[in-house]
Amino acid sequence: MKSGRWITQTESSTYLNEAMAIWLRDLRSEFRTRYAINAILMFAVTTLVAVSFSIGAFRIGEAEKPFLYAVLLWIILVFSALSGLSRSFVKEEEAGTMDVLRLSARPQAVFLGKLFFNLTLLGALELIIVPSFILFMEYEIEFPGFFAAMTISAGLGLGAGTTIVAAMIAQASARGALFSALSFPLLFPLMITAIKGCERAAAGMDSAGWPEVRIAVAYVIIMIIMSLFLFPLIWEE
């Protein structure tokens, strides 16, 4: 359906309006069922507990902590994200509402709406896990502003890099493993940047200009633009 009116489109409607409509609808349904957020948090919490417990008694040198803890934190965040972010499209496929979604808004709006939803999930994930991690592991952070900016920008990157992949695998078979396999190579540079940035922030190394945050932001912008461009190709029937 290329021409004609979209269900959510009015005379003054923009991509953003349609996207927000989809986002709010997903938020409402998620608020009721809490299916995706539960899956993600469950994964994150269990991993965090396992890490905290295993490391707990072990004496790690103070010099090693900034880097090692950054690595552990991002392993937890990335793999929790990979366990739950495909839900945004897979649930539509399972409920049989993919076609309804196709009719209800323009492809780019669908992408943006789902992206916002994924970013909301990621925001919740980070809000809960990052402070918990810092607390349980007694992670000392010299530059909290830099650290926060790093986790936020890389969190955005996690969403930006995976949403279009989620849309693809929802239309394929063997979804779970495929989503992780496809997403991980795309996320790898971001993950490395996030680890380095958090290490820098924690250790108090020279971080004029917050270089890693800039790299993450560049990643977010490029991935979103390319996804907006490519999404219609994989979305149309």
Interacting positions 157-186 with other proteins (CB under 8 A):
161, 164-165, 168-169, 171-174, 178, 181-182, 184-186
Shortest distance in whole angstroms from residue 166 CB to other proteins: 12
Residue 98: closest CA among 114, 81, 85, 82: 114
Interacting positions 7-66 with other proteins (CB under 8 A):
none
Give 21 or 165: the residue with its C-beta nearer to other proteins.
165
DSSP category for residue 207: -
Shortest distance in whole angstroms from residue 124 CB to other proteins: 26
Shortest distance in whole angstroms from residue 170 CB to other proteins: 11
**Cα 39 from chain centroid (whole Å):** 14
Interacting positions 201-230 with other proteins (CB under 8 A):
215, 218-219, 222-223, 226-227, 230
Query: In the set 6, 25, 141, 189, which binds other proteins (CB under 8 A)?
Result: 189
Q: How far apart are CA 85 and CA 115, in angstroms?
A: 10
Shortest distance in whole angstroms from residue 200 CB to other proteins: 11
E-strand ranges in 57-148 read none
CB neighbour list of residue 133: distance below 8 Å, 6 or more residues apart: 48, 69, 72, 73, 76, 139
Shortest distance in whole angstroms from residue 47 CB to other proteins: 22
Give 137 or 215: the residue with its C-beta nearer to other proteins.
215
Shortest distance in whole angstroms from residue 57 CB to other proteins: 28
Residue 219: closest CA among 186, 197, 195: 186
Give 14 or 171: the residue with its C-beta nearer to other proteins.
171
Query: In the set 170, 193, 213, 220, which binds other proteins (CB under 8 A)?
Result: 193
Residue 81: closest CA among 134, 174, 131, 154: 154
Give 48 or 115: the residue with its C-beta nearer to other proteins.
115
Q: How far apart are CA 96 and CA 92, in angstroms?
A: 6
Residues 139/133, Cβ–Cβ less than 8 Å: yes
Q: Quickly tell me which residue has 């490029």 as its tokens.
A: 222
Question: Tokens at residue 138, please?
Answer: 């007694």
Residue 117: closest CA among 5, 2, 206, 40: 40
Site string for other proteins, 77-96 (x = CB under 8 A): --------------------
Considering CB under 8 A, how many residues would be counted as binding other proteins?
A: 32
Interface positions with other proteins (CB under 8 A): 161, 164-165, 168-169, 171-174, 178, 181-182, 184-186, 188-190, 192-193, 195-196, 215, 218-219, 222-223, 226-227, 230, 233-234
